[in-house]
Amino acid sequence: MQDFPFALASSAPISVALWLTVVSIAASLLLLLYTLELRVRRRFRERRRANVVAYWRTIIAGAVTGAAASGAAPKLRRRERQEFLRLWVYTRSMLEGAAAERLIALAQSLGLTEFVRGQARHTHVGTRLMAMQALGYLRDRESLAELAAAIDDTNTLVSISAAEALAAIDPPRAVALLIPKIAQRRDWPRTHVFKVLQRAGSDVISEPLYRCIRAASDEDAAYLLQFAEIAEFDVRDALAGELLRSSTNPELLVAALKTATGHAPIPRLDELLAHQVWYVRMQAAKLVGRMGRKDDLGRLEKLLGDDEWWVRFRAAKALVRLHGVSVSDLEEVRSRLHDRYARDMLGQAMAEAGIR
Amino acid sequence: MSSQFVQAVEWTFLGYFAAINLAYLAQCLLAVRSVRRYLKSTSIDELDPAYSTVHLPISLVVPAYNESRSIVTSIKALLQLEYPDFEVVVVNDGSTDDTLEKLITGFQLSPYPEAYRKQVPCRPVRATYRSARYRNLRVVDKENGGCKADAANAGINICRNPLVAIVDADGILQRNSLTRAVRPFLENPDTVAAGGAIRIANGCTLREGFLEEVDLPRNPLALMQVIEYLRSFLFGRMGWEPLGAVLIVSGAFGVFRRTTLIEVGGFNPQAVGEDMELIVRIHRIMKQQRRRYHIGFIPDPVCWTDAPESLKDLGSQRTRWHHGLGQALQLNRWLMLNPRGGTVSWLAIPFYVLFELLGPLIEAVGFVFFLGGATFGLIVWSEASVFLLLALSLGMLMSICAIMLEEFSFPMYRKPRQLALLYAAALLENFGYRQLTVWWRLKGFFRWLTGRRHKWETITRSASVGAR
């Protein structure tokens, strides 16, 4: 112990405590310096970014409005490319038509396409995603094969972003590749799948989606049906009609009821309104509310006394929405209800609709 | 003999210090990793504005008791949140002031017959109201249940969306708080609850219920709490998140899957710390039922709250929190070292018992031992000072880690003066403030042992939150 550098350390625990104190104070000082360095670096980065953005924003705005100065095209420096790409993608995401074309022309004149192709193979996911999005916006046909391969990437965001880019460049090809994979890739965010399908257009997706759903298992068909919302009306009604006639699977029945537009007659409607599974009854009630008329009043009135709260709730909402049903009709229904729960529910629905 | 005893005690305290600080250090490293991963994913978010269209409908439940002074401004701010599909359900828990009247006039409320299902227990509802001006606002007036949990349960019964956010009536949300808070639910379908970082609003400037300028509080007690909140949220919870062992989602702002809340029976009105008890119970029930689930946490500052500025309010809050901690762990003791409990049972719960619940007791015994020992000549003063210096330096190290994490993730205090003040607070909290919190937590510990009940707590609002 005499060799110990601290005179205070008279016992082992004290010397350990002293060493720990010294180490923690040193670590605190180092962390303090590191925090300061972080701050300085952040300031510097923010300032540089602001300068780059300010410079290129003017040029991009000129390209968008078509007021770009003639003469020598500005040169995009290597260290500015990432910031410019971010700004370009952001602006491009809000534009279509001639302004978008001018923006694409600007990017091409600055050699952005080549840069972005390289970035699309980057190991950092964020960088890769940004590049794929840019390739879509640039409508770069040379990247088609690479994007098609990236659809099978195990990373959810990479694969769905590749699909989105592909849909922007070549919609039929994107749809042909994407639709057979939707049921297997449940990791794809549904809104992104919707976006890709929407971008391709209902005329392009209707037929392949119809074929895929008809060939799928009940579970997959129920999942895929949600995307039929984008399909053409007659395809939606055909799918709904066929599945409602042939299926007994409650999940599929619910999905089919959601798909129906209400423009075509619904097969087995009374059977579905009395189905043993409550969420099928609920969905059927919702559909009646969407497409029904005054003649359907009795059907919904029965459901107001359902054991399940959600069925009563949806039936009441549907009743209030029915075409041709007046306030006095609803009051009459309410007055003849003996079930307190049913009466309360209809009362609430009427109050919410502002008719009570 | 006595020197051997003293040395044994010294080793015990040293071992405890080493264990607790190693645990915190490990948490800090895990938190750095989580924050880095999170920051990368937010850069992905920026890529496509369409990503923000991904949303899940959400109901904001705002329990309110005697909030007459700020309720209208708070609710107006909530109604302006940037989110495509949400409703606000304010639950007036039988306030004795004019909270309800303020709401009725402020939002043109009229009574209407809500046929709701009572799925979690709560005191009877007297009336429900809806707003003529805001279609997504409903107000529930219920009998006083004596606690926030009962009011929150009434809101859970009445709300209609699949996600429910419980928000304090005085909580200040950022405009995009909901978009951020639902991210864990979008990214992982097994998510049943999620929370975000809570920051201190004292010293900040507000405009129409939103934060306009961030600053540090002038009140020293509130300033110390800024450091505590950074420690607690940035490396406390972010450290547990990757281990799937987040045990607390703050009561000030937490998002839950409604079906999960109903399955587990909602908030426990008997619980003193209803927020922690609920999360620990969710862990327990999910583990008992062998179900896949995830409790998420995001480091974004999603909610700013008013911290107590008086010793009385702060003491009462800390006593209650510690009492709640003991109770939550006791009520869900099945989790302790249970073979089915995974990291929650084998890491988080033992950590909370050993370092959080028993921490103040051990720390207090340590203070008494070293100071008493030095006074009565059992230990020489220089040795006692070494241990006290060690406690101080390790405490400061943890606080500086938290400041570094703040700088690294979402720096809110950008002025050099603010950074200097944070460092000063990290140092000064060790002189007096820390000992006071040990005392309050100790009181909470004994309250838990004696099993006293808790009622709604009203904290005097700080004068330093500048409103415009």
**CB–CB of B173/B192 below 8 Å?**
no
For the stretch B292-301, pLDDT in tens is: 999 999 888 7
CB–CB contact A21 B389 (8 Å): yes
Calculate how close chain B gets to A229, using CA atoms only, in Å. Answer: 17
Q: Measured between CB atoms, which of B46, B117, B403 is closest to A309?
A: B117
The pair of three-digit structure tokens given for residue A312, joined into one six-digit string: 């009563």
Q: Where are the alpha helices (DSSP H) in B84-182?
A: 99-107, 148-158, 177-181
Residue in B416, B436, B396 with CA at minimum distance from that of residue B220 = B436
Region at B58 (left for phi over 0; alpha for psi -120 to 50; beta for the rest): beta
The answer to whether residue B221 is domain-embedded is yes
More confident residue, B461 or B256: B256
**Interchain contact, A35 vs B397, CB within 8 Å:** no
Whether residue B266 is contained in a domain is answered as yes
Q: What is the pLDDT of residue B52?
A: 42
* CB atoms B113 and A348 under 8 Å: yes
Domain assignment present for residue B336? The answer is yes
pLDDT at B404: 92
Most confident of A183-197, A279-293, B4-18: A279-293
Banded pLDDT at B208 (limits 50, 70, 90): confident
The one-letter amino acid code at A217 reads: S
Tell whether A18 is within 8 A of chain B (Cβ).
yes
- The dihedrals phi and psi of B169, each to the nearest 5 degrees, come to -60, -25
**Residue whose pair of structure tokens reads 């257009």 in the numeric block:** A201
Give the minimum alpha-carbon distance from A164 to chain B in angstroms, rounded to a whole number.
11
Structure tokens at A99: 């302004």
Task: Kindly provide the ipTM of the predicted complex, given to two decimals.
Answer: 0.81
Q: Is residue B40 situated within a structural domain? A: yes
Domain count, chain B: 1
What distance in Å separates the CA atoms of residue B188 and residue B184, rounded to the nearest whole number? 6
The enclosing domain of B264 has a CATH number of 3.90.550
Q: Which residue of B has its CA nearest to A310?
A: B117
Between CA A344 and CA A356 the distance in angstroms is 12
Q: Do A126 and B14 touch (CB under 8 A)?
A: no
Q: Are B423 and B403 in contact (CB under 8 A)?
A: yes
Q: Which of residues 136-165 of A touch B (CB under 8 A)?
A: 157, 161, 164
Q: Note whether B400 contacts A32, CB cutoff 8 Å.
A: yes
**Token pair of A218 as six digits:** 């009940």
Q: Which residues pair with B255 in a beta bridge?
A: B165, B194
Rounded-to-integer distance, Cα A237 and Cα A258, Å: 10
* CB contacts, 8 Å: B44 with chain A: 125-126, 129, 157
* Contact residues on chain B for A157, CB-CB shorter than 8 A: 44
pLDDT at A178 over 80: yes
Shortest CA distance to A156 belongs to which of A194, A116, A119, A129? A129
Q: Which residues contact A307 (CB under 8 A, 6 or more apart)?
A: A278
Of the candidates B320, B199, B232, B200, the residue with the CA atom closest to the CA atom of residue B31: B232
Per-residue tokens: B234: 């940035």
Coil, strand, or helix at residue B193?
strand
* Closest residue to B394, CB basis, from A24, A32, A38: A24
Q: Write the DSSP symbol of residue A143.
A: G
Instruction: Give B307-324 as a DSSP string.
Output: PP-SHHHHHHHHHHHHHH
Tens-place pLDDT, residues B326-371: 999 999 999 999 999 999 999 999 999 999 999 999 989 988 888 8
User: Which residue in B35, B55, B108, B390 has the most chain A C-beta atoms within 10 A of its own C-beta, making it the best mutation to test that interface?
Assistant: B390
pTM (2 d.p.) = 0.77
**If pLDDT is split at 50, 70 and 90, which confidence band does B234 have?**
confident
B255 three-state secondary structure: strand
Q: How far is CA B306 from the centre of its chain?
A: 12
**A205-227 mean pLDDT:** 92
Place of tokens 């969420």: A279
Q: Establish if B130 belongs to a structural domain.
A: no
Say yes or no to pLDDT of B255 above 80. yes
Give SS3 for B176. Answer: coil
Residue A210: enclosing H or E segment and its boundaries? helix A202-215
**A53-60 long-range contacts, Cβ below 8 Å, gap at least 24?**
A53/A83, A53/A87, A56/A80, A56/A83, A56/A84, A56/A87, A57/A87, A59/A106, A60/A87, A60/A88, A60/A91, A60/A103, A60/A106
CA distance A33 to chain B (A): 10
Over residues A82-116, the pLDDT tens digits come to 889 989 998 998 888 899 999 999 999 999 999 99
Nearest by CB to B386, from A14, A124, A164: name it: A14
Longest dimension (CA), chain A: 102
Binary contact (B112, A38; C-beta < 8 A)? no
Query: Whose CA is closest to A105, among A72, A128, A73?
Result: A73
- B87 forms beta bridges with B59
Q: How far apart are CA B136 and CA B81, in angstroms?
A: 12
Q: Residue B265 belongs to what domain range? A: 21-53+170-350
Distance, in Å, from the CA atom of A229 to the CA atom of A224, rounded to the nearest integer, reads 10
Q: What is the pLDDT of residue B47?
A: 55
Using CA coordinates, name the residue in chain B closest to A308.
B117
B93 to A83, B67, B126, B166: CA distances (angstroms)? 52, 10, 10, 14
Distance CA B268, CA B277 (A): 8
> Across chain A, what does the average pLDDT equal?
88
Give the total residue count for chain A. Answer: 356
Cβ neighbours for B455, distance < 8 A, ≥ 6 positions apart: B146, B147
Chain B residue with Cα closest to A9: B383
What residues 82-121 of chain A have any CB closer than 8 A to a CB of chain B?
86, 89-90, 93-94
Domain residue ranges in chain A: 201-267, 268-356
What are the CA-CA distances from residue B230 to residues B19, B227, B405, B406 (Å)?
21, 5, 8, 7
Which residues are B191's β-sheet partners?
A: B294
Report the alpha-carbon distance of residue A327 to residue A319 in Å, rounded.
Answer: 11
**pLDDT tens-place string over residues B22-55:** 899 899 889 988 888 887 665 555 555 444 444 6
A82 vs A87: CA distance, rounded Å: 9
Are B47 and A129 in contact (CB < 8 Å)? yes
- Topology given in CATH for the domain delimited by A268-356: Leucine-rich Repeat Variant (1.25.10)
| Cα–Cα distance, B173 to A261 (Å, whole number) | 40
Is residue B44 in a domain?
Answer: yes
> Higher-confidence residue: B333 or A172?
B333
Cβ-Cβ contacts under 8 Å, A14 against chain B: 10, 383, 386
Q: pLDDT by residue (tens digit) across B167-203?
A: 998 889 988 899 888 888 877 778 999 998 999 999 9
